[in-house]
Amino acid sequence: MSSNVVKNSQPIGLMLDGRTVTGEGRSSRDVINPATSEGVSSLTMARESDLHEAAEKSVHGFKEWSRQTPLARAQILKAVASAIRRDREIFAAAITREQGKTLADSRMEVASSADLFEWLAEEGKRVYGRVVASRSASVQQLVLMEPIGPVAAFSPWNFPLAQASRKIAHALAAGCSIVLKPAEEAPSAPLHLAALCIECGVPASAVQVVYGDPAMVSKALISSPHIRKISFTGSIPVGRMLSALAGEHLKKATLELGGNSPVIVMNDIDVDQVARLAIQSKFRNAGQICVAPSRFFVHDAIFDRFTSRFAELAASLRVGDGDQDATEMGPLAHARRIKAMEDLTQDAVTKGAKVLTGGAERMSRRGFFWSPTVLADVPADARILEEETFGPVAPFTRFDNLEAVLDRANEVEHGLAGYAFTKSLHSVRLIQDRLKAGAIGINTFAAAAPEMPFTGIKNSGLGVIQGTEGLAAHMNIKSSFVADPDAS
């Protein structure tokens, strides 16, 4: 469904040591607007020599950036936050054009990215070591925290600015340099962010952006002797491959992988209120969010009322081009996501699920659109309950025992996020203790904040992404023993 038509004659380049690099025999690929399936620009793809150059230059960037005081770095990162807010509409237009989400969602992404830079500017000043009481009166024992070195980071297409910000801001706040490889589908926002970092005072070689064949880029960067840490957000299969490659070279890796978040809805909730919250969260960004509510377990006593109201609200969503103010849900990011929705929906229906609304591509439109879909009484063996949906299909199943449904919620290989809605303190405590996920929201779909650690368990991740813990993941720990030379 893609087009060879490229409307913007100026190709998008790589950013190497502050230079925009295009042409010179490098290959390119079209960047597609998912709302129209038309090409909007062409993207330069890196050669292997470009990747080696970026990794080598990152060493110089690391030396220059890490030698600045945390206070000086904080002032620069605060300036980046202000510049992001200043360029809100530039970022939002690029995100919507290349990724498809609504302008309202894109503006929220811009705001959250600025908030992240601002928080890390402050937290970067608070990376403290400690003094440890010594066994000897003549020896001082210190624990020191030092930036780990150049980072190779890989960010996805669903939040092109927010995920790039997460990678860049954590690395810079810790004193590291970074070579970022964002997704080729939505390249403009990460490049503009890197340009703002340099504009605000980050050394040009401390933040570089490359695009190219994913396998070639990851192998070149991870195996480079100049790179000391890997940060990846994406699918479980790719995460496994990158983790193995990082392990081969004994490099620290932080992985945020897929999710299949359960939502447990007890029978003591306000049906309309929770249904509205669930609609907003499920169909935001057309469901293409790793922590999106994915499997709805609703108490049998309210199941019919809840699913009926949820389906009614889903059917009323205005689906269209994200740059239209009236649009409430934009397209999927790729044509292949439509095929994924078809397969998951058909599998569930074949096994006995009922379609309450949706269930089909919007064939009358150009672009990669899929109707908001609600499936009721989905059987336990349906693929959609086992696999990450990453799209606007909401499967519902019944339960009547909280402990039993917690076991069902924990059965999958994922453990990124989970949600529950109840007014019972007893239920809250049981859910908080028993639900196996790195982040849980009780009576809320909020699952991440700059100041909170973000991590997956089981196959959903390795290491910590945000919060003080995420910053510490970019540090080496050094033990220092200092003896008095005049002590006997």
Q: Mean pLDDT across the stretch 120-125?
A: 97
Q: Which of 265, 298, 283, 315 is nearest to 377 (CA)?
A: 298
Helix 271-282 crosses helix 303-315 at what angle (to 10 degrees)? 50
CATH class of 261-442: alpha beta
pLDDT at 275 (0 to 100) = 98
Helices assigned H by DSSP within 175-270:
188-199, 214-223, 236-248
Helices assigned H by DSSP within 67-187:
70-86, 88-99, 103-123, 160-174
Fold: same for 14-257+459-477 and 261-442? no
On the CB side of 54, CA atoms within 13 Å amount to: 30
Q: Which of 331, 292, 329, 326 is nearest to 100 (CA)?
A: 331
pLDDT at 433 (0 to 100) = 97
Does the pLDDT value for residue 56 go beyond 50?
Answer: yes
Mean pLDDT of the chain: 95
Does the pLDDT value for residue 24 go beyond 80?
Answer: yes
CB atoms within 10 A of CB 136: 11
197 is catalytic: no
Helices assigned H by DSSP within 100-187:
103-123, 160-174
Q: Mean pLDDT across the stretch 251-269?
A: 97
On the CB side of 343, CA atoms within 13 Å amount to: 10
pLDDT at 318 (0 to 100) = 96
Does the pLDDT value for residue 1 go beyond 50?
Answer: no
Does the pLDDT value for residue 307 go beyond 50?
Answer: yes
Does the pLDDT value for residue 8 go beyond 60?
Answer: no
413 is catalytic: no
Does the pLDDT value for residue 366 go beyond 50?
Answer: yes
CATH class of 14-257+459-477: alpha beta
pLDDT grade, residue 165 (50/70/90)? very high
pLDDT grade, residue 11 (50/70/90)? confident
pLDDT grade, residue 360 (50/70/90)? confident
Residue of 256, 328, 387, 388 marked catalytic: 256
Does the pLDDT value for residue 242 go beyond 70?
Answer: yes
Q: Mean pLDDT across the stretch 424-432?
A: 97
Q: Mean pLDDT across the stretch 158-170?
A: 98
CA distance 413 to 428: 23
pLDDT digits (tens, 9 = 90+) for 432-475: 999 999 999 999 999 999 999 999 999 999 999 999 999 999 99
Q: Which of 93, 123, 128 is nearest to 109 (CA)?
A: 93
pLDDT digits (tens, 9 = 90+) for 463-483: 999 999 999 999 999 999 999
Does the pLDDT value for residue 4 go beyond 60?
Answer: no
Does the pLDDT value for residue 9 go beyond 70?
Answer: no
CA distance 34 to 288: 13
Q: Mean pLDDT across the stretch 17-36?
A: 95
pLDDT grade, residue 362 (50/70/90)? low
Question: What ranges do the domains of the chain cover?
Answer: 14-257+459-477, 261-442
Does the pLDDT value for residue 2 go beyond 70?
Answer: no
pLDDT at 3 (0 to 100) = 41
pLDDT digits (tens, 9 = 90+) for 146-155: 999 999 999 9
Residue of 176, 197, 200, 290 marked catalytic: 290
pLDDT at 290 (0 to 100) = 95
